[in-house]
Structure 1
Amino acid sequence: MLNTLRDITQAVAAAHTLELALELLVAQTKAAMDTQCCSIYILEQQELILSATDGLEKSAVGRVKMPLSEGLVGLVAEREEAINLADARKHPRFKLFPEVAEEEYRAFLAAPIIYQKQVLGVIVVQQASARQFNEGEEAFLMTLAAQLAMAISGLKRRADVQGLEQQILFNGTCASTGIAIAHALVLGGEIPLEQPELRAADTVAELLRLRTAIGRSRDALSALAQKFDGEQDEELSSIFSALLSLLDEASLGGEYAREVSLGWRAESAVSRVSLRCIAQFSAMEDAYLKERASDIRELGQRVLRQLIEPGRVTLEPDKPVILVVREADTGLLAEFPRQKLAGLVTELGGVNSHAAILARALDVPAMIGVDQVTQAGLDQKLVVLNASRGQLLVSPTPSVVDEYRNLISAQRALQRRYASELNEPALTLDGHRVHLFLNAGLLSGVASEIADGADGIGLYRTEIPFMLQQRFPSESEQIKVYRQVLQAAANKPVVMRTLDVGGDKPLPYFPIKEENPFLGWRGVRLSLDHPELFLVQLRAMLQAAADGEQLKILLPMVSHLDEIDQALAYLEQAFNELRTDFNAQLKRPPIGVMLEVPALLYQLQEVAARVDFVSVGSNDLTQYLLAVDRNNPRVSSLFDSYHPGVLRALHAAARDCQSHGLAVSVCGELAGEPMGALLLVAMGYRELSMSQGSLAKVNYLLRRVECHELEQLLELVLQMSSGYEVRELVREYLSSRELSSILD
């Protein structure tokens, strides 16, 4: 039975059109279940349309339509559950359509086809004899419907795009914010990694070809690394340096050569090694390690390109385009002319992939995780990419394009208005000063962003330099990076978070395989288990800061008081070692902990006795309070920072920190959202850290409100029963102050 399910699913997925897929589906399902009739109805604009059948009148396909409120098929879609009847005619919802000629059928079994909570259609099997389909048959049809949902969704999208009967909307995850309007350029990989397995006639000649191709690939990667190194963008330069290292004899380069030595042609050798390694990485559970498979694919395709078509001219379109690819690689983005790259859309990849990091650094709107978008026939079609909202609109009407262009113009005008006040302090109308800090990870642009109005760096993610290396960075390398960050901040305070990996941020060279990584070995837990790494990082931070007063050190993922005590002991050890060994003139920096584990909410008095400040990580705190993995698409809609329970926890944290004399700030995404910033200020938070793009907007907003009004608003907010009600209430408040435009 499993083989039958697999064969049907593969046949449908391989079909080039929706019509062919549905015809194959009904024919093979009818044969597999040994029944007399199989039909499928597709839901279009709240109507179920007979779209394929093997057993009913063929001429009725496309003509028979019914609303969800009619017929047994409508009942299946309406209830979103299977129906199994021995004699369909006896059911009150039975409706006869004479044109389909189904009078002879009595036994009826139907299952809904559901993809991402949306009913796509209904699959039905029928027999003339009045009998109940058994449990095995019912389970088979339900399993088949579930397995086919993704393939049918993709084919249906493609049919909609090609028909252009309506504007088509694709949804994905934002990797880099922004809006772009341009024609799509779909790249499906001109050089497939899957090459024929051919034996070499002359192994020596093949090795020479391979070494030449590797040499050319090495030259291209070196040029890219030097390009970004020359722009003093060490993180991005290190991406290409990492790819270069994979070409070494001790890495993939040597594996390619060994495969040729076994008698394979160079193309076959590169393909075999790459596919083998990709399979190994793809099987890993860690999201970051899965993404490293894309590095292996990118490198393999680079070498294959040099083997198959050396000297290929890089494609340069006439006008800016929105690139649509299955999986973006850093080389593609770096080599593509920046002035011609309007946006990026991918099927695969993650927000921590190298390509996503590069897209953000280049300020290119980017959206990832768009199901089957490369097979949807978008090439050369006009699209609107609203990456900030995770939306891609295909073939929009002229009026919609005009609306988006007006929106872009209006947003630019608003940004100019916000930016005009950025150098003014964030001071409410009734005189309360709020300090706005910057969340940073890459060095790119930090100096200019600090100069543009931030009061300092409220969160420097030290894991980013670790993630962009192929090994743990040395003490001297870390000193160099941290010193550059401190210098870029120009004497303003800098909060450096110690290594926070694990969960959705594993290191490529330090794999962590866990059943539930978000509740596992991450943050300070890992650092304390590896004091040799922790001490190096602490020593590097202390030396970078020297006797200055800029540095503050932040400990992530703290859940127990003894973790704070152990971390403080290691800090004291690092401090004493530097003073003894190097006679270094150092100053002990303030130490803080991230408040993201809910248990710490109830131990703030004890925390205050140990550290100098607390920084609330609203992202993880929300995730743990609601038991929702925000990276899991099945439940991500439940992640809501405005959930009244979350807001009450944040309010209690601010109140308790103040009562215990503990400085407190917020560094999660909530701090950079206009609604979130208002509520946090109402709770008493006076330090908010956010991305650079939010600074001007939040500053502008806070300069136009009064704290006593916000406190009254908060009293009402905390009585709400849902995040939706909270947002509506704050929206009404902003509208009453003629500030609703700040919500975009």
Structure 2
Amino acid sequence: MLKMLRDITQAVAAAQDLHSALDMLVSRTKIAMKTQCCSIYLLEGEQLVLSATDGLLRSAVGRVKMSLSEGLVGLVAEREEPINLADAQQHARFKQFEEAEEASFRAFLAAPIIYQKRILGVLVVQQADTRLFSEGEEAFLMTLAAQLAMAIRNLRKKAEAPDLLHFKGISAANGIAIAHALVIGGQIELEQPDVKVTDIKAEQTRLNHAIEACKDTLCSLSQRFDQEEEHEVVSIFSALQLLLDNASLGGEYIKEVTEGWSAVSAVSRVSLRYIEEFTQMKDLYLKERAGDIRDLGLRVLRLLIEPERMGFEPDVPVILVTKEADATILAEFPRHKLVGIVTEQGGVNSHAAILARALGVPAIIGVEGVLTAGIDKKLLIINANRGQLLVSPTPTLIAEYRNLISAEKALQQRYARELTLPAETIDGKRIQLYLNAGLLSSLESEIAEGSDGVGLYRTEIPFMLQQRFPSESEQVKVYRQVLEIAGGKPVVMRTLDVGGDKPLSYFPINEENPFLGWRGIRLSLDHPELFLVQLRAMIQAGADSDQLHILLPMVSNLDEIDQAITYLEQAYFELKSDLGKDIIRPKIGIMIEVPALLYQLAEVARRVDFVSVGSNDLTQYMLAVDRNNPRVSTLYDCYHPGILRALKRARFDCWQYHLPVSVCGELAGEPIGVILLVAMGYDQLSMNQGSLARINYLLRRVSHSDLSELLEMALTLTSGLQVRELVRDYFESRELGAILN
């Protein structure tokens, strides 16, 4: 049965149009369930319309229509639950449609097709015998209907707007752009035909040229980013260069050619062989290396098959569309020619996503089916703010987005003009605005443009860009650069926070539920050899000033704080002895992410110098919602009244215990969130650089004393949607509505 389900759903999803998909669905379902009739009704407006059938008269398709209050099919849609009847004609809601000639059918089983709480249609099977369908048959139809919901919804959208394809993905770097698509890698598969050749020397020459060209590119990219002092990015390329040596994959490619295989076949055969071997290994680090082998194999294949596509010198700016954009591809583009990135795979913390944010290029990841949609050279609109990709937009839509881009630029320029002015409300309440950062690149200009310091430096980013744990001296160099760039302003450095959605390729963590697993401070305390090295590096970098603050992530109990402070003291006194001089002991704080600590702030205040609320994880844990899971992501809502009440209570308790507190999650960079946080009494907010000017501009136009009433109203509401509407109305009443766009 599982194979039947998979075959049917895959066939429907792969169909080119809705009509053929529905015909295929009813015919295959009829065969799979060994019944005499299968039909599907789709909801169009307020009516259910017979859209495909195998068993009723074909001429009835499109003619049989009923409201939700009519017939058994309408009852299924109305109740949103399946109906199984031995003799449908005996039911009070039975309605016969003469044009369909269904009088001979008695047994009736139907299941609703529902996508994200919305009824799309009803799937029906019928039989002449008077009998109840079995539990297994009912379960099969229900499962099939559930699996088909997304495919049918996508096909219907395509049918409604055949010239406009609309893809959804996950935003990896915000922004909006309009440009033509450049599809790289979609036309080439790693698995290539096995082709023998007679001119081995010619194939060796071709292969050597491709390998050398690949090496030259990697080397030049390393040099370019090294000159630009983007040292974290340089490390991405170093390991890839080594794989092309004769002692590694490069030598294996050449060996295959000497045995008579074409250059293309040689690269394919070697890559596939090693990928299979590595993915079967038990060592998780070695398993991860299969991805490097695949990336290099595809890169060399592209140089062999379509070398003209590897220059990356398009005549006009383009949006890159690829399976998974490795950092070398992104880095090769002239910066003024790459205006957007769309990938089928990858994560928000992948090398490509990190580099996209560093380059300021809008990026969307996880866009399913985009490579097979035939969009190369077509005009695209990428709206990474909402995770949307529009293909072949209408002139009207293009004009709307161009106006949106122009308006956004004009607003940003307006905001930027006040960025050097302090973030102070109309009635004189000063709010400290800090930056969240992870890359050194462009940090200098960000610090200079109006921030009060770095509220969260994510030390895991340099770790993620390495192929191994960075040494103490390497960490000292990075941390010292961050402190120097900050120019005397405070810098809060968070200790290594990996696990969950932030893996290290060289230290993989395989868990069924990683967000509740071995991450943050838990990992550091279990590996004191790594933790002490990082603490020593931080203290050494900030030894001569009081700039440095150290922040501990994912703390869930007081004992973890005590252990961490013990290690901090050890690192501090070791360094003091090694350096032979007095050094400044940094302040230490913890992230408030685990809800349990909200009820232990009195004890926390006796141990640490400050706390920082991580609103993203706190919301995730309080609502029991994985924000990266598309099935439940709509339930993730940082404006849930329960979350707001928790944040207000945390601010009050911190004030009561004289404990400095800041907020460093996404909430601190959103206009609605900022208004509510400031109303609660938070006066230290840390955000991404793109939000800084807008938030400064907003705060200079509101009165702190007027916000208390707004907050009290928000806390009485029952949903995050109502909270958003309330604050939007507040903005509109003060002519600040544009700041929400």
Instruction: Give the TM-score normalised by structure 2.
Output: 0.92
Distance 1:349 1:102, change over 3 A: same
The equivalent residue for 2:551 is 554
| Equivalent position of 1:141 in the other structure | 141
Query: CA 1:278–1:51 in structure 2 vs 1: closer, same or farther (change >3 Å)?
Result: farther
Q: Distance in 2 between matches of 1:486 and 1:511?
A: 30
1:173 aligns with 2:170: yes
2:90 equivalent in structure 1: 90
Q: Residue 706 and residue 158 in structure 1: after superposition, are their counterparts in 2 closer, same or farther (change >3 A)?
A: closer
Gap change, CA 1:311 and 1:584, over 3 Å in 2: farther
Deviation at 1:595, TM superposition (A): 1.0
Aligned length: 741
Q: Deviations over 1:162-211 (max 9, x none)?
A: x34xx654332211111223344445623211212457889999777655
Distance in 2, Cα, partners of 1:188 & 1:150: 26
Which residue number in structure 1 is paired with residue 386 of structure 2?
Answer: 389
Report what 2:500 is aligned to: 503
Match of 2:585 among 569, 584, 588: 588
Q: Give distance in 1, aligned partners of 2:444 and 2:203.
A: 50
After superposition, where does 1:121-270 map in structure 2 within 5 Å? 121-161=121-161, 163-164=162-163, 169-187=166-184, 189-197=186-194, 213-248=210-245, 252-253=249-250, 267-270=264-267
1:410 to 407, 410, 419: 407
How far apart are the structure 1 equivalents of 2:528 and 2:254?
39
Taking the aligned partners of 1:188 and 1:627, their CA distance within structure 2 comes to 38
| Distance across 2 between alignment mates of 1:512 and 1:616 | 25
**2: CA distance between counterparts of 1:284 and 1:143?**
35
C-alpha distance in structure 2 between counterparts of 1:282 and 1:654, whole Å:
48
CA 500–102 in structure 1, closer or farther in 2 if over 3 Å, else same = same
Q: Would the alpha carbon gap of residues 259 and 62 (structure 1) be closer, same or farther in structure 2, given more than 3 Å must change?
A: farther
* Cα pair distance change 1:286/1:132, threshold 3 Å: farther
Please list every run of 5 or more consecutive structure 2 residues that lacks an aligned counterpart in the other structure: none
Q: How far apart, in 2, do the equivalents of 1:188 and 1:44 lie? A: 39
Residue 718 of structure 1 deviates from its aligned partner by 2.1
CA offsets per residue over residues 538-577 of structure 1, 9 Å max, x none? 1111121231221111111111212112111111211222
2:419 to 418, 422, 425: 422
Give the equivalent residue in structure 2 for 1:372: 369
In the alignment, residue 511 of structure 1 is paired with which amino acid?
P
**Residue 524 (structure 1) aligned with residue 509 (structure 2):** no
| 1:158–1:376 contact (8 Å) kept in structure 2 | no
1:661-702 Cα distance to aligned partner (Å, 9 max, x none): 111111111111111112211212111110111111111111
Give the equivalent residue in structure 1 for 2:100. Answer: 100
1:490 counterpart = 2:487: yes
- Aligned equivalents of 2:303 and 2:401: distance in 1? 42
The change in CA–CA distance for 1:57 and 1:331 in structure 2 (over 3 A counts) is: farther
- What is the alpha-carbon distance in structure 1 between the residues aligned to residue 83 and residue 277 of structure 2? 42
Contact 1:289–1:508, Cα closer than 8 Å, also in 2: no
Q: Does the Cα contact within 8 Å between 2:664 and 2:687 map onto a contact in 1?
A: yes
Residue equivalent to 2:467: 470
Deviates more, 1:314-323 or 1:363-372: 314-323
After TM superposition, the structure 1 = structure 2 runs for residues 636-715 of structure 1, keeping only pairs within 5 Å, are 636-715=633-712
Q: Kindly provide the CA deviation profile for residues 109-166 of structure 1, in whole angstroms up to 9, marking residues without a partner as x.
A: 22233445444443322222222211222222223333444444554455445x34xx
| 2:412/2:694 contact within 8 Å kept | yes
Deviations 1:567-592 (A, max 9, x none): 11111211222222232552111111
Q: Would the aligned equivalents of 2:285 and 2:506 in 1 still touch at CA under 8 Å?
A: no
Q: Letter of the aligned partner of 1:105 in structure 2?
A: F
Aligned to 2:639, what secondary structure does the other structure show? coil
Q: Which amino acid aligns with 1:111?
A: A
SS, match of residue 388 in structure 1: coil
Percent of pairs with identical residues: 70
The CA distance in 2 between the partners of 1:535 and 1:127, in whole Å, is: 72
Q: Please say if 1:113 is aligned against 2:110.
A: no
Q: Is the 8 A contact 2:285 2:507 kept in 1?
A: no
Query: 1:20, 1:289 → 2: CA distance?
Result: 44
After TM superposition, give the deviation of residue 65 of structure 1 in Å.
4.2
Instruction: Tell me, in whole angstroms, the C-alpha distance in 2 between the residues paired with 1:44 and 1:261.
Output: 63
Distance 2:421 2:167 in 1: 40
Q: Return closer, same or farther for 1:527/1:313 CA change in 2, 3 Å cut-off.
A: closer
**Structure 1 pair 45–432 and aligned structure 2 pair: CA distance change class (3 A):** same
The answer as to whether partners of 1:47 and 1:65 remain within 8 angstroms in 2 is yes
1:56 equivalent in structure 2: 56
Shift in Å, 1:266: 5.1
Structure 1 window deviating more from structure 2 (669-678 vs 573-582): it is: 573-582
RMSD of aligned residue pairs (Cα, Å)? 3.1
- Residues 397 and 630 of structure 1, relative CA distance in 2, 3 Å threshold: same
Structure 1 residue 434 and structure 2 residue 421: aligned?
Answer: no
Matches within 5 A, 1:619-630: 619-630=616-627
Distance 1:279 1:371, change over 3 A: farther
Give the whole-Å Cα distance in 2 for the aligned partners of 1:317 and 1:585.
57
Q: What secondary structure does 2:221 align onto?
A: helix
1:534 maps to what in 2?
Answer: 531
Superposed CA deviations along residues 348-389 of structure 1, whole A, max 9, x for unmatched, are 222111221222122122222233233445455444322112
8 Å Cα contact 1:291-1:350 kept in structure 2 = no
Indicate the residue corresponding to 1:338 in structure 2. 335
Which residue of the partner structure matches residue 40 of structure 1?
Answer: 40
How far apart in 1 are the matches of 2:14 and 2:610?
58
Q: Distance in 2 between matches of 1:288 and 1:348?
A: 20
CA contact (8 A) 2:50 2:61 kept: yes
Q: The residue matched to 1:241 in structure 2 has which SS?
A: helix
Helix, strand or coil at the partner of 2:705: helix
1:578 to 1:272, Cα distance in 2 relative to 1, 3 A: same
- Amino acid of the structure 2 residue aligned with 1:713: L
Choose 491-500 or 538-547, whichever is displaced more.
538-547
After superposition, the Cα gap between the structure-2 partners of 1:392 and 1:93, relative to the gap in structure 1 and judged at 3 Å, is farther
Cα deviation 1:369-410 (Å, max 9, x = unaligned): 233233445455444322112233444443333332222222
Give the corresponding residue for 2:354.
Answer: 357
* Contact map agreement 2:330 2:352 (CA 8 A) in 1: yes
How far 1:104 moved relative to its partner? 2.0
Secondary structure of 1:333 counterpart: helix
Distance 1:4 1:700, change over 3 A: closer
Q: Which amino acid aligns with 2:112?
A: P
CA distance in 2, matches of 1:293, 1:677: 44
Gap change, CA 1:68 and 1:360, over 3 Å in 2: farther
Equivalent residues of 1:242, 1:469 under 8 A apart: no
Gap change, CA 1:316 and 1:69, over 3 Å in 2: farther
The alpha-carbon distance between structure 1 residues 255 and 112, as it changes in their structure 2 partners (threshold 3 A), is: farther
The runs of 5 or more residues in structure 1 that have no matched partner are none
Question: Cα 1:364–1:435, aligned 2, differ >3 Å: closer, same or farther?
Answer: same
Counterpart position of 2:2: 2
Matching residue's letter, 1:506:
P
Distance, in Å, in 1 between the alignment partners of 2:320 and 2:48 is 35
1:217: how far off?
A: 1.8
Alignment partner, residue 24 of structure 1: 24
1:470-495 Cα shifts (integer Å, max 9, x gaps): 10011111111111111111111111
Shift of 1:323: 3.4
Residue aligning to 2:317:
320
Contact 1:47-1:67 at 8 Å conserved across structures: yes
Q: Deviations over 1:265-290 (max 9, x none)?
A: 65445435544666788899999999
